[in-house]
Amino acid sequence: MAVIEEGLEMAANGMGRRRLAERLGRPRATVRGRLRRFNSVAEQIRSLFTTVLVSVTDDRVVPEPAGGQLADAVASVLAAVADVAEWFAKGTLSPWELA
């Protein structure tokens, strides 16, 4: 899973498929397929994680457009996860409140 996460972040930052495949040590077809699949649901992912982000933060800062569907989705995931982690660290949000 860590390889996929790393690949998505690098792709969101503009790295091409060939370089990504070489850097991750994965076949180009695998990288292409994973990126294609993520792109096919990127808007749903962005929407879901933006909803989570807005639900758990006080300031409701939504990430600015990041330069494409994949990049926008990755930005929303990273922002929501960071804010949820902060809530847990503060002890102000229980797992049941999050659910």
Query: In this structure, what are the phi and psi dihedrals at residue 21, rounded to the nearest 5 degrees?
Result: -60, -45
**What is the token pair recorded at 78?**
């990273």
Give the range of the structural domain holding residue 75, as residue numbers without chain letter: 2-98
pLDDT digits (tens, 9 = 90+) for 32-88: 999 999 999 999 999 999 998 888 777 767 888 888 999 999 999 998 888 877 777
- For 56, half-sphere exposure in the C-beta direction (CA atoms, 13 angstrom radius) is 26
Supply the pLDDT for residue 98.
Answer: 56
Model pLDDT, residue 85 = 79
Domain total of the chain: 1
CA distance 49 to 72: 10
Name the residue with higher pLDDT: 62 or 18. Answer: 18
**Residue 61: what pLDDT?**
73
Per-residue model confidence (pLDDT) at position 28: 95
How many other C-beta atoms lie within 10 A of the C-beta of residue 30? 14
Which pLDDT does position 8 carry in this prediction? Answer: 93
User: Token pair for residue 75?
Assistant: 């930005």
- The answer, yes or no, to whether residue 99 has pLDDT greater than 60, is no
Rounded distance between C-alpha atoms, residue 85 and residue 94, angstroms: 11
pLDDT at position 95 is 59
